Amino acid sequence: MAAKKKKATAASTSRLPAGTVSLPASKVEDRTPSAENEDLSLNPQKIEETQESWPLHGPMIEYENCDEKCTGWGSDADSESEGFLDDDMDFLPTGWGKNKKQSSEDQERAEISRKAKMKKEKSQASSAVLVAVVAACREESPTVSDQNVEVSRTLVKLKKPCTNTESTETALEISGDIAEQFTRGSVIEDIKVIKSATSLENPCLVCASRSSEIVTSNTTIQKSTVPDSKPSIKLMEKMARQERDLKSAKTQAGSLRAEIEVLNQKHRLEMQKQLDQLNESHQKEMEAMKLDLEEAQAARQKASTDLRKVREKNSAVRTERRELDLKLGAMNEEVVRLGEKISNLETQKNDAQVSAESLFRALRLAAQDVTDGRLKLDVVQEHSATFQQQVRSLRVENHRIRQEQSRTASTSNRLQQLETKYENLKTDHYTLEDEHNELQEDAARYRREREEYKGEVEYYRKKRNALRDELESVEASLEKMTAKYASILSSRDAVRQNYQELKKAHDIREPLAKIGADIRLRFLDQARETALNISRCEADMALRTNGNVAAHRGNAAVDAALFKGKFIPEEYEEEAEEIFQKLYSHGSSDYPYYDRISERQKDCEATLSTIKESSVSATLRVEWRVVWNRILHGPANKNRVLIEELERLTDEIVDLERSSRRRR
């Protein structure tokens, strides 16, 4: 939006009294037409006015598009006092009223500063013009008479940017045509104050030279000559009034300085108060951030400690498992080797049995062959004896026949028959001898074979005895290996049973040892401050946090380990069992009865059940219940994140309740 032009006129360096009244545009008495007067050429109408009708008036100033109506000199006491701030407002802060969060007092101060600067610019502009006029009046000679002095129109424009966002130009236009005639040292001035009615809200005040009528363009005013005594007196009175106004303005400026100093001091106090509040809030925020950082460091240190312990435990378990695996592998290898050896021995035993059976069969065959040879030899010996007896009988018969032949040779037939029979018997005899020789050879051969068979039988008997001894030794070794294998199996079962017992005892004592270690480390950390006179630092926050968590948080695993490890006195066991069932909704013998997520959720619920509810943690408990329901009814893939959030809220509720109880 374009700024509207501001117009104003000024007439003097000091302000005129408030009682000065402008004269109406009318003809004035004592006007005598003469040749010395000059006519106004702009209108056909001629205007005449006298010296007495031209009193000095303060300029009336009008601003277009301004926030308030500003009256010129001669309006009222307030505007009169505001016009003489001069340089009293220059010490105001540059950023006065420009804060982002401005209060009503800051806006008032900014408005006062803006008004003061506008008044200062207007007064400076009017002062410059009025000084020029007064200097011109003082330099004129009083002896001049009937001379028409025509003063050219003076135009002063003052442009000034507004303090608001839109830029406005203030043009102070001073237009006046003063025709002065000095007769006997008199100075005649004619100033007219014209009030413009063009704007209803912001009156425009234009200072122009008073003539017989209102002129809108270049005019020439003809003035009559008057005596010089009255203007001099009026000029003196005007100067006296100006001095009084100057003193009044200085007094008002001093009061304004004091008021501005008070406002400035008040502003400094308010700024200091706001700065203190900001510093305090900043300090609180820094402390809260430090506490959050300490908690985060403690949680991180706790997590790193737990991770280190878990890693150590995992490495120990892995080492023990590796050793057991190595032992089991060695045992399995020994069993396999012994099985292979036993199978080899069984194979050898079977081979020896087969070879012994074959030897027995061969020996039986050899014995049977010997028996058959003996039988054949006996038959051959019997045949040989029979043949020998037949031969002997034949020899006897041959001898008897020969004797008979010799005695009787009676008949040749009988002899031939006998000879034929003899030849046959002789042939049979030779045949039997050959058979007898063959039988003897066979018998000798059978005897040799029998001796050979006897040697082989002896060798096989020795070998059988050796194999029998070896088989007996193998059987004894096999019995020993079987007994050793059975002992190894029983030892392995014992080792497994011992491992299961040790693992069960370790599972029972591990959470108790961890809880006890955290509590005792907290005790040592607290005792260090008094025993060694060493102050606790933030680095030990994790020890204290772990100890507090171990002592004041629910832990179903540790509580169940107390029952399984028989650490609870007998007279307190029933009550402890009832408390355990109330906290975790299950008996100690049923543990573990949940998965890991549900177990941690139950631990959080047990922790809150041991703390009395108060209004301090009501909001956190509502948020805790919302997260609980989300874990209970939500998807399983988000339970890990939600259980961590639930544990964080549980810790915050516990810390808040404990801190509130300590304050009470």
DSSP codes, 497-535 = HHHHHHHHHHHHHHHHHHHHHHHHHHHHHHHHHHHS---
Q: CB-hemisphere CA count at 13 Å for 455?
A: 5
Contacts of 380 (CB under 8 A, 6+ apart): 435, 436, 439, 440, 442, 443
3-state SS class at 575: helix
**Which pLDDT belongs to residue 61?**
39
**Which pLDDT belongs to residue 127?**
66
What is the four-CA torsion angle of 533, 539, 544, 550, rounded to 10 degrees?
-150
What is the four-CA torsion angle of 5, 196, 110, 85, rounded to 10 degrees?
110
Kindly report, residue by residue over 59-98, the tens digit of the pLDDT: 443 433 434 333 343 344 444 444 444 444 444 444 444 4
Taking every pair of Cα atoms in the chain, the longest distance, rounded to a whole number of angstroms, is: 256
**Which pLDDT belongs to residue 409?**
59
Task: Give the type of residue at 174.
Answer: I
**Which pLDDT belongs to residue 89?**
44
In which residue are the tokens 């049995």 written?
353
Which two tokens mark 514?
A: 């961890």
Contact 608, 653 (CB under 8 A): yes
Q: How far apart are CA 173 and CA 153, in angstroms?
A: 11
Residue by residue, what is the 3-state secondary structure of 641-663?
HHHHHHHHHHHHHHHHHHHHHHH
Residue by residue, what is the 3-state secondary structure of 474-487?
HHHHHHHHHHHHHH
Task: Give the type of residue at 432.
Answer: L
- Low-confidence stretches of the chain (pLDDT < 50) are 1-102, 139-227
Interior CA angle at 358 toward 356 and 359, to 5°?
A: 60
Which two tokens mark 120?
A: 């200062």
**Distances from the Cα of 153 to the Cαs of 57, 213, 619, in angstroms?**
19, 16, 81
Q: How far apart are CA 553 and CA 574, in angstroms?
A: 22
DSSP 60: P
Count the Cβ atoms, other than its own, within 10 Å of residue 123. Answer: 21
Q: Which of 208, 234, 167 is nearest to 22 (CA)?
A: 208
Q: How far apart are CA 29 and CA 50, in angstroms?
A: 6
Which two tokens mark 576?
A: 């402890």
**Which pLDDT belongs to residue 194?**
34
Q: Are strands 191-196 and 204-209 parallel, antiparallel or unpaired?
A: antiparallel
Helix axes 596-609, 570-584, angle to 10 degrees: 110
Q: Which of 604, 652, 593 is nearest to 631 (CA)?
A: 604
Contact 446, 370 (CB under 8 A): yes
What is the dihedral sign for C-alpha 119, 123, 125, 126? positive
Interior CA angle at 544 toward 542 and 545, to 5°?
A: 60
- State the burial class of residue 633 (Cβ atoms within 10 Å of its Cβ: 0-12, 13-18, 19+): exposed
What is the four-CA torsion angle of 37, 42, 44, 47, rounded to 10 degrees?
-40
Indicate the pTM of the whole model. Answer: 0.32
